[in-house]
Structure 1
Amino acid sequence: MTFGGLPTRWEPAGTSRGLALVAPGRAYAPSAPLLDFGRIALLQHGFTVRQLWWDSTTRGEEEPEPWVRRHVEAALAGEDADHVLVVGKSLGTRAASYAAERGLDAIWFTPLLVDPAVAEAVAANPGRQLLVGGLGDEFWDAAIARELGDNGCAVLEVPDADHAMATTDAVRTAEVHLEVARAVHAFLSQL
C-alpha cells in the first residue's frame, strides 16, 4: 500500500504481535517526527504498522470525530489482528472514542484534552494508554492529564513543548523528541 508513492504499511522483522494504526494530525503527516519515531519503535517491538494519510481539508462541514472514526474504521476493515493499538496525533486523537469502545491500547500524541469528548473517551478506555503533551500546547490540559495519569494512563508531560512537541530551540526540540521516543519505547516494552 502506498500514498503518493510513500509506503503506508510496514511489517516487523519477525512474527507480528499485532497491528498499530497511525492516525495523523490535521497538518501533521505520518512522516513527521513524532509519528515516524513511533513507527520505528512499533516495528522494533514487533507490530505491523499501518498509516492513515488524509487531507483534512476534505472534511468540509463534517464534525471531526465522525470523520476520523470513518477513516479508522475503513482502515481496519478486513484486518485480522488479535492485538490492535491506535496511535493518534492531535486530530487523530479523535479516534479515542473508537479505541475506548473496543478497549484498544493507544498512544496519544498531543491529545486534544481541552475537548471534553476526547478527554472522556480516554478516561473511558480500559486499554493501556500513553499520553504525550507539552505545557506550551493550548490543547493540552495539565489537570486532566494528571487525573488521567492517576487513573492508569502513562503520561509524559514536557514543560516547554508546544503542540508539535517542539520549542524555539532546535537542540531542545531534538531532546524533546528523544524524551518522547524513550517514553514510547518504555510503554511498548510493558505491553
Structure 2
Amino acid sequence: MTFGGLPTRWEPPGASRGVALVAPGRSYPPTAPLLDFTRVALLQHGFTVQQIWWDSLTRGEEEPEAWVRRHVAAAHAREDADRVLVVGKSLGTLAAPYAAERGLDAIWLTPLLTDPSVAEAVGANAGRQLLVGGLADALWDASVARELEEGGCQVLAVPDADHGMGTRGAVRTAEIHLEVARAVEAFLAGAAAGAGA
C-alpha cells in the first residue's frame, strides 16, 4: 500500500506480534520526525506499522473526532491481529475514545489534553498508555497530565517543548526528539516484558 508513492505499511524483520495504527496530526504526516522515530521503534519491537494518511482539508463539515474515528476504525477493521496499538499525534489523539472503548494500548504524542473528550478517554482506557507533551504547548494541560500519570499512564512532559516537541534552537529540538525516542523505546520495552509475563 502506498500514499503519494510512499509506503504506508511496514513489517518487522521477524514474526509480527501486533499491529500499530499511526494516526498523524493535521499538518504532521507519518513521515515527520516524531512519528518516523516511533515507526522505527515499533518495528524494532516486532510490530507491523500501518500508517494512516489523510488530508484534513477534505473533512468538510464532519466533526474532527468523528472524522478521526472513521479513519482509525477503517484501518482497524482491515487488520487481523490479536494485538493492536494506536499511535496518535495531535489531531490523531482524537482517536483516544475509540482506543478506550477497546482497551487498546496507545502512544499519544502531544495529545489534546485541553479537550475533555480526549482527557476523559485516556483516563478511562484500561490499556497501557504513554503521553508525550511539552509545557510550552497550549494544548497540553499539565494538571490533567499529572492526574493521568497518577492513574497509571506513563508521561513525558518536557518543560521547553512546544506542540511540535521543539524549540527555536535546532540542537535543543534534536535533544527533545531524542528524549521522546527514549520514552517510546522504554514504553515498548515494558510492553514486551508485560506480554512475556
TM-score normalised by the chain length of structure 2 = 0.96
Structure 2 counterpart of 1:92, one-letter code: G
Structure 2 unmatched ranges of 5 or more: 192-197
SS at match of 1:46: coil
Question: 1:112 and 2:129 equivalent?
Answer: no
Identity across aligned pairs (percent)?
Answer: 78
Three-state SS of the structure 1 residue aligned to 2:108 is strand
User: Counterpart of 2:97 in structure 1: which amino acid?
Assistant: S
Structure 2 Cα separation of the partners of residues 78 and 24 of structure 1: 18
Offset, 1:166: 0.5
Q: CA deviation at 1:155?
A: 0.1
Per-residue deviation, 1:61: 1.4
What amino acid is aligned across from residue 181 of structure 1 in structure 2? Answer: A
SS in 1 for 2:42: helix
Match of 2:62 in 1: 62
For 2:84, the equivalent position in structure 1 comes to: 84
Q: Aligned equivalents of 1:166 and 1:55: distance in 2? A: 23
Which sections of structure 1, spanning at least 5 residues, go unmatched? none
In structure 2, give the amino acid aligned to 1:15.
A
Matched residue type, 1:45: H
Task: Name the counterpart of 1:142.
Answer: 142
**Paired position in structure 2 for 1:152:** 152
Equivalenced residue count is 191
State how far apart, in whole Å, the 2-side matches of 1:30 and 1:68 are: 15
TM (normalized to structure 1)? 0.99
Q: CA RMSD in A?
A: 0.4
1:103 is the counterpart of 2:103:
yes
Cα offset, 1:144, TM superposition:
0.2
| 2: CA distance, partners of 1:77 / 1:126 | 21
